[in-house]
């Protein structure tokens, strides 16, 4: 019989005697003992309304005590929490409710309208629980409860007898195109994130206060604000509102944040803001993931705010970061080296080891596969290896450099061009706030690079100047053949650029007599 292991018990219950703070929100502070009590009450409440072990429970909630204790409580019961993006449309939310076969939806009051419309399209939903009072008119057969009803059912005294390989969590991949897929994770995967990245790379301890720009419904945010701080007995700083540079700077100063988790878009926006240069004076370490952090942003952030940002790469399928720079040793423009406990391999088009090509990873936190997606599971999860879909280059110093998504690479003059390399060059220009390079077809039917640029505040886009800038700093064939100004970048819920939308915008730009 496998050894018993429950991730919620591991994250919270083993710290209850220390008397240490577990979570701080803008509304309240909970100790580990209080968080454990809340999680046990949620577990009992879910059991009371009929949730069974290994049954999915969808969460459409803002980052707060209810969301955190809800995810922990579901795992404590042996159920499977499914956090989903709070930015989904009703139809998108309904699609996930139906796909996950969930009967129970836990939601925040801010999202009541979307949830009501979604529940109309999800016939298996029989109960909706809100974290506060709200007007909600459900269809016949749907019970509506408030959070206090859920936690007033008592407390579950012992966790369900889960094993390390028991299902613990589903996370839907965002994807820039196509339908989302649920990556299925084990209880052991959660311990691995805390052990290998939280401890092995960041050296998190009880004295740390972790503040994340990414929310709990992201794999990255869930690791930042739940798995890693709680595994270390540290403090999770939760922010219910949208993460703006000003708000995050205020929380960092007010709550003495020591580790700041962000994404490149946030670091760029903070550099463009009026946030004070000493706003992050308590932060000992910055972290970036989601997309590659250009060297120019790394350098500018360190110069202005005095914070070294460790760039790394992770994925929903791997649950968190598996390639990362190290504190005090960050190499700008790279994703660093493998996280302890993980192996990576680069393969060429023939599947042979190479210095440049598709990145594969093997590690203790990878998902067991996608729910009800057999063909794509077999394509992505290949034996012990996970095919990431990213193109990487291994450098002479042992670090790895991101070249783009495998399907974003493009050829110019018969030579492969990395969009990220061109974007990094353009970001060094003072007129450029954000940029994405995609391909468009020229008059000869060939694919060429085109740069989509959001200008810096108070600046204008000068196409000739930007193309010349790239020609001066890159091989000539890598230069964009056109520059298109856009008001803002189209992005997914996780903040990744939707390059398919940009490709559609620029599809005719090289055939207009340029």
pLDDT in tens, 240-275: 999 999 999 999 999 999 999 999 889 988 998 999
pLDDT value, residue 2: 77
pLDDT at 174: 61
Closest CA to 419 of 395, 398, 401, 436: 436
Where are the domains positioned within the chain? 32-183, 410-511
For residues 143-149, give the mean pLDDT.
Answer: 95
CATH superfamily name and code, 410-511 = ANL, C-terminal domain (3.30.300.30)
DSSP label at residue 333: T
- Angstrom distance (rounded) from CA 276 to CA 304: 9
DSSP state of 485: E
Residue 370: closest CA among 7, 22, 99, 47 = 99
In CATH, the architecture of 32-183 is 3-Layer(aba) Sandwich (3.40)
pLDDT per position as a tens digit, 101-138: 999 999 999 999 999 999 999 999 999 999 999 988 88
**In which residue are the tokens 């109960």 written?**
127
In a 13 Å sphere around the CA of 312, the CA atoms on its Cβ side amount to 27
**Which H/E stretch holds residue 210?**
strand 209-212
Q: What is the DSSP string of 83-139?
A: E--TT--HHHHHHHHHHHT-SEEEE-GGGHHHHHHHHHT-TT--EEEESS-----PP
Nearest to 470 by CA among 426, 512, 511: 426
Please tell me the distance from the alpha carbon of residue 297 to that of residue 60, in angstroms, as a whole number.
Answer: 32
Confidence band for 294, pLDDT divided at 50, 70 and 90: confident
Cα 92 from Cα 85, distance rounded (Å): 10
Average pLDDT, the chain: 93
* Distance separating alpha carbons of residues 238 and 400, to the nearest angstrom: 32
Do the Cβ atoms of 364 and 341 come closer than 8 Å?
Answer: yes
Tell me: pLDDT of 475 over 80: no
Rounded Cα–Cα distance for residues 313 and 324 (Å) = 7
Comparing 276-285, 356-365, 462-471, 489-498, the range with the smallest average pLDDT is 489-498
H/E stretch holding 423 reads helix 419-427
336, with CB counted inside 10 A (0-12, 13-18, 19+), is buried
DSSP for 218-243 reads SHHHHIIIIIHHHHTT-EEE---S--
Confidence band for 177, pLDDT divided at 50, 70 and 90: very low
Would you say residue 514 has pLDDT above 50?
A: no
CA 199 – CA 495 distance, rounded (Å): 26
Question: Which residues on neighbouring strands pair with residue 54, listed in sequence order?
Answer: none
Q: Which residues lie closer than 8 Å to 267 by C-beta, 6 or more apart?
A: 286, 288, 293, 297, 301, 309
Q: Which residue has the tokens 């007007």?
A: 135
Predicted local distance difference test score (pLDDT) of residue 357: 92
């Amino acid at each position: 019989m496998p050894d018993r292991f429950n991730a919620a018990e591991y994250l919270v219950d083993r710290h209850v005697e220390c008397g240490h703070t577990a979570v701080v929100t803008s509304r309240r502070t909970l100790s580990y003992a209080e968080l454990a009590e809340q999680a046990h009450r949620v577990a009992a409440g879910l059991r009371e309304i009929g949730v069974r072990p290994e049954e999915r429970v969808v969460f459409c909630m803002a980052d707060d005590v209810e969301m955190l204790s809800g995810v922990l409580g579901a795992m404590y019961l042996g159920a499977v929490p499914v956090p989903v993006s709070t930015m989904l449309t009703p139809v998108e939310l309904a699609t996930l409710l139906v796909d996950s076969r969930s009967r129970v939806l836990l939601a925040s009051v801010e999202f009541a309208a979307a949830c009501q419309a979604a529940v109309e399209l999800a016939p298996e939903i029989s109960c909706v629980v809100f974290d506060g009072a709200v007007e909600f008119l459900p269809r016949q057969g749907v019970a509506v409860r408030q959070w206090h009803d859920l936690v007033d059912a008592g407390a579950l005294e012992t966790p369900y007898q889960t094993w390390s390989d028991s299902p613990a969590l589903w996370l839907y991949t965002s994807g820039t195109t196509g339908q989302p897929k649920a990556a299925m994770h084990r209880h052991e995967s959660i311990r691995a994130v805390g052990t290998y990245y939280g401890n092995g790379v960041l050296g998190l301890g009880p004295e740390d206060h972790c503040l994340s720009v990414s929310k709990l419904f992201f794999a990255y945010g869930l690791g930042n604000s739940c798995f890693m701080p709680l595994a270390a007995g540290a403090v999770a700083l939760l922010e219910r509102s949208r993460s703006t540079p000003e708000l995050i700077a205020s929380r960092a100063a007010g709550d003495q944040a020591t580790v700041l988790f962000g994404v490149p878009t946030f670091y760029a926006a903070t550099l463009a803001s009026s946030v004070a240069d000493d706003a992050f004076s308590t932060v000992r370490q910055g972290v970036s993931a989601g997309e590659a952090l250009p060297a120019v942003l790394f350098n500018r952030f360190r110069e202005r705010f005095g914070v070294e940002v460790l760039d790394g790469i992770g994925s929903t399928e791997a649950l968190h970061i598996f390639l990362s720079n190290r504190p005090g040793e960050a190499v700008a423009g790279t994703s660093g080296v493998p996280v302890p406990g993980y192996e990576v391999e680069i393969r060429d088009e023939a599947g042979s080891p190479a210095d440049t090509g598709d990145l594969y990873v093997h590690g203790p936190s990878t998902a067991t596969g996608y729910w009800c997606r057999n063909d794509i599971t077999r394509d992505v999860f290949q034996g012990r290896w996970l095919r990431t879909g990213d193109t990487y280059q291994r450098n002479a110093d042992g670090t790895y450099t991101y070249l783009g998504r495998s399907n974003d690479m493009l050829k110019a003059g018969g030579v492969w061009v990395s969009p990220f390399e061109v974007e990094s060059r353009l970001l060094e220009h003072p007129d450029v706030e954000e940029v994405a390079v995609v391909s468009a077809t020229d008059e000869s039917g060939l694919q060429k690079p085109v740069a989509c640029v959001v200008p810096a505040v108070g600046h204008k886009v000068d196409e000739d100047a930007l193309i010349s800038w790239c020609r001066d700093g890159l091989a000539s064939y890598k230069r964009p053949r056109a520059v298109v100004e856009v008001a803002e970048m189209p992005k997914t819920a996780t903040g990744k650029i939707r390059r398919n939308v940009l490709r559609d915008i620029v599809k005719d730009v090289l055939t207009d007599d340029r």
